[in-house]
């Protein structure tokens, strides 16, 4: 397994053992996975500063469609207005703060269920009962707080930070590697949401831990030739890698033909990438899988796994039958990981846990 590093920066001394060459490196200390103060810092310095991928565009496809999210206790709503434009707002009424939208659906406007303040799909206040008598009341100043929003390859991103980095800078490296896959020509076929009893960073580490694949996932993923994997490391923990991996399905075959965008690649073509802070992407011959890891508490997280297939595949007579096989496999893999991640999280509270050495060939 080869590693190419870009960028730099000095790690704190307490992480020196982890940053050492792989033949001497050790895993991270346990407090990084359960300390409340670190969790609070991650919220302020990462999730409230970075661009976050929250949904597929086809999930909010028609005018009036909306979805709500809660990101580290911050409620937001993403909606498509009457002109077909996507907007993101804090899901916080300008009156008392009650959430004005719940779940997902289609709406002409958002009505606060507490006092009836009414907002249009652009977040503007268009109705506020019994407020005309309030001195200096200005409806224009009482809108839902807008958030930055961007779309890339069929994905919707939001940012809480009005002064943060431009989206073009955030996505540039990832776009260079994965734009040829043409995820915008794919559609969402399956969405798996699983709550985990572990810190969100464990799942991110799990996705780059090829050491465990040949032990834990022998019946699902099979073997991965680790010696043929080369990680191209990017700034802020991102990476891109391309590697051969036989199809995961029965008989080592693809469910469908190769995706049109990569039809000239061998059938065992695979690629993976990580976009900070929490987006993993996996490309296989006939599908794309994307996983988002969301923190819920220091020791709890949520994984959302999206399975994308090229739009023409959906018209096949056998699509639903083959998709069912894919769904069974995805759920089996996540369940295998879930048990181990729960055990990992428990270990972080043990006085007997001492970070162990890494495998130079597999980690």
Pick among 3.30.2270.10, 3.90.105.10, 3.40.50.10320, 3.90.380.10: CATH of 2-48+172-347: 3.90.380.10
- pLDDT higher at 359 or 194: 194
pLDDT at 209: 80
Domain with CATH 3.90.380.10 in the chain: 2-48+172-347
Contact (Cβ atoms closer than 8 angstroms) between residue 224 and residue 213: yes
Q: In Å, how far are 196, 216, 229, 243 from 294, measured between CA atoms?
A: 10, 23, 27, 27
Residues written for the chain = 363
Per the prediction, the chain carries an average pLDDT of 90
Burial label for 60, CB within 10 Å (0-12, 13-18, 19+), is: buried
Chain segment 209-244, per-residue pLDDT in tens? 877 777 777 777 766 655 556 666 556 655 567 666
Q: Please give the Cα distance from 72 to 135 (Å, whole number).
A: 36
Domain with CATH 2.102.10.10 in the chain: 51-160
Q: Please give the Cα distance from 236 to 121 (Å, whole number).
A: 35
pLDDT at 213: 76
Buried b / exposed e over 346-363, threshold 16 CB at 10 Å, is eebeeeeeeeeebeeebb
Chain segment 63-83, per-residue pLDDT in tens? 999 999 999 999 999 999 999
Contact (Cβ atoms closer than 8 angstroms) between residue 272 and residue 1: no
Q: Tell me which fold the domain 51-160 belongs to.
A: Rieske Iron-sulfur Protein (2.102.10)
pTM of the predicted model, to two decimals?
0.91
């Amino acid at each position: 397994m080869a590693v190419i590093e870009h960028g730099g920066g000095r790690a704190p001394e307490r992480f020196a053992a982890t940053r050492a060459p792989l033949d001497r490196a050790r895993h991270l200390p346990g407090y990084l996975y359960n300390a409340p103060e670190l969790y609070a810092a991650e919220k302020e310095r990462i999730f409230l500063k970075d661009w976050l991928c929250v949904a597929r565009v086809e999930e909010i496809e028609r005018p009036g469609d909306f979805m709500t999210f809660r990101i580290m206790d911050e409620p937001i709503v993403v909606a498509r207005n009457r002109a077909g434009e996507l907007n993101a707002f804090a899901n916080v009424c300008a009156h008392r703060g009650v959430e004005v939208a719940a779940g997902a659906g289609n709406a002409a406007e958002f009505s606060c269920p507490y006092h009836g303040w009414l907002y249009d799909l652009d977040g503007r206040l268009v109705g506020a009962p019994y407020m005309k008598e309030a001195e200096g009341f200005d409806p224009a100043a009482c809108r839902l707080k807008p958030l930055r929003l961007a779309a890339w390859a069929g994905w919707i991103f939001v940012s809480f930070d009005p002064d943060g980095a431009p989206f073009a800078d955030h996505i540039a490296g990832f776009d260079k590697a994965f734009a040829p896959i043409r995820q915008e020509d794919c559609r969402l076929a399956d969405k798996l949401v699983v709550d985990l009893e572990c810190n969100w960073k464990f799942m991110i580490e799990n996705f780059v831990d090829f050491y465990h694949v040949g032990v834990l996932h022998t019946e699902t993923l099979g073997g991965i030739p680790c010696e043929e994997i080369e990680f191209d490391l990017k700034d802020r923990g991102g990476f891109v890698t391309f590697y051969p991996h036989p199809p995961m399905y029965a008989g080592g075959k693809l469910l469908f033909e190769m995706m049109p965008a990569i039809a000239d690649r061998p059938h065992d073509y695979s690629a993976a990438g990580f976009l900070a802070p929490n987006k993993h992407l996996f490309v296989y011959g006939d599908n794309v899988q994307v996983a988002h890891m969301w923190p819920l508490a220091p020791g709890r997280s949520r994984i959302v796994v999206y399975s994308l297939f090229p739009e023409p595949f959906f018209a096949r007579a056998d699509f639903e039958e083959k998709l069912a096989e894919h769904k069974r496999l995805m759920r089996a893999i996540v369940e295998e990981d879930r048990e181990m991640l729960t055990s990992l999280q428990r270990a972080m509270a043990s006085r007997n846990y001492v970070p162990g050495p890494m495998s130079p060939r597999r980690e």
